[in-house]
Each structure stands twice: as C-alpha cells, then as structure tokens.
Structure 1
Amino acid sequence: MTPPLGDIAHLGHVELLTPDLDGSVRFFTDYLGLTVNGQDGDSVHLRTFDDYEHHSLVLTAAEKPGLRRTALRTSSEEALRRRVAELEATGHAGRWVEDEPGIGKLHLTADPDGHEIALYWESEYYQAPPELRPALKNQPQAKPNRGVGVRRLDHINFLAADVAANADFHQHVLGARPTEQIQLDTGRIGAKWLTFTDKSYDVVYTSDWTGSTGRLHHIAFATDTREDILRAADLAIDSGVFIETGPHKHAIQQTFFLYVYEPGGNRIELCNPLTRLVLAPDWPLVTWTEAERAKGQAWGLRTIESFHTHGTPPLD
C-alpha cells in the first residue's frame, strides 16, 4: 500500500507550449489572474497567488500547442535519490538538468507514453515584492485584483495510448495511489485518477482515441469556491474566451468544473475540488463502467464529443 504522502510531495509546475505566446500570457494573467515572475528568452514564468514556489506554469513559444514538461517535487533529497534509483532499476532512462529559475537540479525522465516528467527537491520559496505582499503572513502573495484569481495549479490530465501502463508507472515507480478509474466493457482501462497527497487526484490518464502518444488533455487550476467558476464563465463570454463545456459537476471525483481553451489551443480546466479529500490510507479503488459513464456527468450533462477528440498537439 502506498502511503498518503510518499516520496513525491506534490505536482510542482507544468510547462505548456503555445504558438501564441503573447495571447497565452494575457489569458493566464488577465483572465485567470496569474502573475508573471520572469522571462527567459521565449519562456515566461507565471505563478498563482497561493503556490509557494517560484512558478506554477511556464509558457514557451512553439509552432504547435502541447505539453513539454510536468514537474513533481519530492518530499526530500533522499526521496529524490530513491525515486531516481527506482527509475533506473525499472529501465526508465533519465538525465539531470538545471534549466529553470528558482529550481535546483531536475531529473528528467518520461512515462511510457513519452510525456516528459521532471523530479526535483531544491526549490526557492517565493518572496513577494512590496506591491504583491499579502496582509496575512501565511500566504505567499496577495490575492489578485483581476480575472478569476485561481488559487493553485491543481492537476494534470494526460492523453495516453495505454492508460494502464502509464498509471502503473506513477503508482509503482513514483508512488501514487489510484483512486478512481473507468473500465471499458472490453476490460481495458479507459481512464485512471491518481494522487500523491490526500487530494483525491493529482494526475489523470485518459485514453487517446486516436492511438497517439505524448499528448495533453488539460491542466487544471483550483478556485476558492464554486461561485468563482460561475463568475469565470461570465468573464469568459465577456472577454471572448472559448467555453468547451460546463459549468457543471463531474460524477467521477465530484469536481465542479469549467473547461476553456487558451489562445494557444491548450485545454484549461477551472475546478473546485477543495472539499473532497482521500484521507483513508486503505482507500478502495472506485471503478466506473461504460454504462455508468454513458449517463453523463453528475447532474446529467452529456460528455461532449470534443472531450474525446481534442488534445494538444493537434493531429495533422
């Protein structure tokens, strides 16, 4: 049994590729309320107000949208060494880099689908400048006075050719716990949710119906309340942000959600899962059938077709 807090402490940050860097930066700052915390060439570093590290998100200019890197912080230097040793023992090649501000050495590897995974321990705590200093000393940064004002980077959903193999990588090599899954009538696993913490999920793998590998379904940012998501929907239609689906409530994980596209083409979820934790150390894996999923979301909203077909990078 994997303990609630193992060698991986939490999802650290994500790097997205975008063909419209300026538009993507405006989306994440003006609409979501993130703060720019530096730029290095074609990469812009941004942070949410309640993430404690240097950055929560990196946006890098590229020809096509997609995912470059998912960074996971370990719980100690010793934990980092243990996970690297396990990666090497199980045939997952890696290399060390030091290429991000505020972060020490990162060990780069990949899941079976080819998504780049970075593990690191050394991290610089964010020190807010005077104009962003919070009134409460236990908060890294003052709440933003613009946009939705999302609180933190919450989770990432990878598209994968083989959900089970990738989920097993996170469970047996990195130490995640699976909490829920979809099992198709054929017996194949169509999606799986896993956690490194007492949150109900940190990473998700969803079957890529195209059979492609290495693509992204979405990244998600948590809000304080459900009302923030309703407000986000109003802000979206006022500012021209494309709404794919929602607001509504997922049946799986019970997350209140809104899915939008940022200008580069990547899918972004605004979610409110803050009230649901998995505290049981022996949590039983919840399995959903095809028939149960055919009923749609928690209150009956049907899952739209693009949810199964849109991913980044887009297919030619």
Structure 2
Amino acid sequence: MNDAFHDVAHLGHVELLTPEFEKSLWFFTELLAMEEVARDGDSAYLHAWDDYEHHTIKLTASPTSGVGKVALRASNEKALQRRVAAIEASGHGIGWHDGEPGIGRTYSFVDPDGHPMDIYFDSEWYVPSENSRPALKNQASRFPGTGVNVRRLDHVNFLAADVTLNGTFAAKTLGGKPTEQIRLNSGKLGAQWFTFTNKSYDLVYSEDWTGSNGRLHHIAFATDTREDILKAADIFLENGIHIESGPHKHAIQQTFFLYVYEPGGNRIEFCNSGARMILAPDWKTIEWTEADRAKGQAWGMKTIETFHTHGTPPVAVPTH
C-alpha cells in the first residue's frame, strides 16, 4: 500500500496554451459552456459548471500550443508539506510562490520529463453570480443547458520520453496508484494510468514516439452521460471542429470517448466512465500487451495513427 496515496486530493486545474486565443476562448465558452470568471493579461480563467473551485482552465495566449501547468490540490496542509518534501528530495522542486486567482500559496515543480506542475491546498471556492446561481445548493452553478455542458476536468494525459521514469515519480513522489498499463514487446512501458482517488485515473503518461520531452497528449472533461458525448459530436460537426476519433469505447479503463482538436491545436477528450471506480484498496495493476492493443478498442475499432503522432506543442514526427 502506498502511504502517500490520497495526499493529492484531485487534479485541480490546467493551464492550456493556444496560438489562437480568441478562437480557443470561443470553443471553451460557447461550445463547452464554460464561464469566464477572470481575466489577467493574456490569460482567461474558465469555470466548468460543477467545479467547486474558482476555475478549471487557465487559457493563455502563446506562440504555440501545449500545456502551461497542471495543478494538483493536496488533501490538507500536512499532506501538502509531505508532498513538497518528497518533491524536493527527488530534485524536481522549483519553489513556493503566490497562487493565481482563487488559489493560495503554491509550490512549483517539474516531473522527470519537464512538464511544469503546481501543488497547493488553500483554495477559494467558486461563488455563483445571480445569473449562474443553481436551484440546488449542492451544485456549484446553474446547469448551462447549452453546448456540451462539460461538468468538470477529468484527467490529463502527458506525453513522455520515458514512461517508467515518470511513472515512478507519479507513484513514489506524488502518491499516485497505477491502475492500468501497457507493456511493450521490448519489455518497457508504453503507457501508465494513475489515480489519486477512487476514480479509475487522473494522470496518464504515454510514450512520446518523437522522443521529445514535456508535451501534452490531451486533457479530458467529464460528461454526465454517453448521450452527452454523442450530442457533442454533432455540435462539433456543425461548428467545424476537427473530430479525430470516436465516439467509441476504450478497452483500457472502459471510457466512452470522443477526441477533437480545439482551435489552438490541443487535443481535447470528452469522456464518461459510467459507474466504474477503483474501490479495492489492494487493486492490482491491469497490464495490457501489444497483442492486446492490436485488437483495437473495446468494440474493435483500431486506434488511428494520429493518436500516436499528434501532441502539443507540435514537433517533427519521425518516419518509421
């Protein structure tokens, strides 16, 4: 049993970089029905309707696409101090700084691949305006009833040059539990899925076929139902958004999914895991082989080539 498990409460928020700021802002606010709650320089802070925290996405204008930072909320102040001590002992710490809007004192670090990350505990809860006040007091804000209606941030999938190295960091330093993984014929890990809670996964590391460091595969938003994802596909079709893959069902983690590229080039997933959770305290990591993966997704659809080659920021893709 990992003694550090649950020191991280959940994935807090993500800073997403975009070279098409206005178009990306339109995508998140008009199509996904997220609310802009603050603006600071070149960044807009966006809130998914049932996120209890101040913001879900920090969208930042940038010369290129990719992820700026991924922020984790600790379970309490003592858990925060334990994880900071572990991060500093690993040699990947950067230091403390004042948090962004709605977030208290924050510690910055990088994983072994160079992805910038934050961890914090003090957090300002979202306060709805009169226009966004919900009918039910146990809901963060009013259900938008328009567009895709994404409920919350679900997970982040990082591309990494070395999955094992980063997976060890996620487990030993951050306290993540690996729930599923892919073992390649060479013996090395091709991908690994981690949970910090009873969700099936919160953070994923996938092998970057380009050998690059610090890139993003995708961020994912949770929907209430599979039907929401089918509706999302129609919304994206009508609005000229590139649908990369789905709607379909993953074999790994059994997630019903849809992948699109937002206007800035970042891959966005919309996912629904149904009632699937990891409740067993002694869960044994499920391992998939290359032969398993060659069978395709749950219903036989093969994984498309761009799923292995597209990442942000973009880099030259080697020919095999």
Normalised to the residue count of structure 2, the TM-score between the two structures is: 0.97
CA contact (8 A) 1:4 1:198 kept: no
Compute the displacement of 1:105 (Å): 1.1
| Distance change >3 Å, CA 258–CA 3, structure 1 → 2 | farther
Tell me, yes or no, if structure 1 residue 242 matches structure 2 residue 228.
Answer: no
Which digits, 9 at most, give the CA deviation of each residue in 1:14-67, with x for residues without a partner?
A: 001000110001001111111111110100000101110000001000000001
CA contact (8 A) 1:159 1:208 kept: yes
Q: In the aligned structure 2, how far is the partner of 1:29 from the partner of 1:258?
A: 18
Alignment-mate amino acid for residue 137 of structure 1: K
Instruction: Give 1:240 deviation, angstroms.
Output: 0.8
Tell me which residue corresponds to 1:46: 46
Cross-structure match for 2:272: 272
Which AA in structure 2 matches 1:271? Answer: C
Provide the secondary structure at the position in 2 that maps to 1:87. helix
Structure 1 CA distance for aligned equivalents of residues 178 and 274 of structure 2: 18
Q: Which residue number corresponds to residue 151 of structure 1? A: 151
Q: How many residues align?
A: 316
Between 126-135 and 92-101, report the one with greater CA deviation.
Answer: 92-101
Separation in 2, partners of 1:102, 1:108: 16
* 1:83 aligned residue: 83
**Identity %, equivalent residues:** 61
The separation in 2 between residues aligned to 1:238 and 1:91, in whole angstroms, is 48
After superposition, residues 250-265 of structure 1 pair within 5 angstroms as: 250-265=250-265
What is the CA deviation profile of residues 58-89 of structure 1, one whole-angstrom value per residue up to 9, with x for unaligned ones?
Answer: 10000000011000000011111111111112
Partner residue, 2:114:
114
C-alpha contact 2:4 2:174 (8 A) present in aligned 1: no
What does residue range 47-196 of structure 1 map to in structure 2 within 5 Å? 47-196=47-196
Deviation, structure 1 residue 117: 1.1
Cα-to-partner distance string for 1:94-138 (whole Å, 9 max, x where unaligned)? 211214100011100000000011000000011100000000000
* Matched-pair contact (CA < 8 Å) for 2:8–2:73: yes
> What is the DSSP-based 3-state SS (H/G/I as helix, E as strand, rest coil) of the residue aligned with 1:246?
strand
Question: Quick check: 2:4–2:175 contact (8 Å CA) kept in 1?
Answer: no
Q: Partners in 2 of 1:179 and 1:156 — Cα distance? A: 15
> Counterpart of 2:132 in structure 1: which amino acid?
L
Q: 2:222 and 2:228 mapped to 1: Cα distance?
A: 10
CA distance in 2, matches of 1:166, 1:112: 6
Whether 1:203 aligns to 2:203 is yes
| 1:5 Cα offset (Å) | 5.3
Relative to 1, partners in 2 of residues 1:152 and 1:274: Cα closer, same or farther, differing over 3 Å? farther
SS at 2:230 equivalent: helix
Q: Work out the CA distance in 1 between the residues paired with 2:258 and 2:92.
A: 35
What is the Cα deviation at residue 6 of structure 1? 1.6
The answer to whether the 8 Å contact 2:246/2:259 transfers is yes
CA offset digits 1:224-282 (Å, max 9, x no partner): 00000000001111111110000000000000000000000000000001411000000
Say whether residues 1:24 and 2:24 are aligned partners: yes
- Cα 1:93–1:4 change in 2 (3 A) is closer
Please list the CA deviations of residues 144-197 of structure 1 after superposition, one character each: whole Å capped at 9, or x if unmatched: 132110111000000000001111101001100000000000101000000000
Secondary structure of 2:15 counterpart: strand
What TM-score, normalized by structure 1, do the two folds share? 0.98
Provide the residue aligned with 1:216 in structure 2: 216
State the distance in 2 between where 1:246 and 1:149 align: 18
Tell me, yes or no, if the aligned pair for 2:96 and 2:105 is still in contact at 8 Å: yes
Once residues 110 and 11 of structure 1 are traced to their aligned partners in structure 2, the CA distance between those partners, rounded to angstroms, is 15
Cα distance between partner residues in 2 of 1:309 and 1:98: 36
Distance, in Å, in 1 between the alignment partners of 2:212 and 2:5 is 32
Partner of 1:306: 306
**In the aligned structure 1, how far is the partner of 2:67 from the partner of 2:152?**
18
Identify unmatched segments of 5+ residues in structure 2: none
Q: Which residue identity is paired with 2:83?
A: R
Spell out structure 1 runs of 4+ moving beyond 3 A: none
**Secondary structure of 2:93's partner?**
coil
Is the 1:193–1:202 Cα contact (8 Å) retained in structure 2? yes
RMSD in angstroms over aligned alpha carbons? 1.0
Instruction: Determine helix, strand or coil for the equivalent of 1:132.
Output: coil
- Which amino acid is the alignment partner of residue 155 of structure 2? H
TM-aligned CA distance change 1:4 to 1:301, over 3 Å:
farther
Q: Kindly indicate whether the alpha-carbon contact (under 8 Å) linking 1:15 and 1:59 is maintained by their aligned counterparts in 2.
A: yes
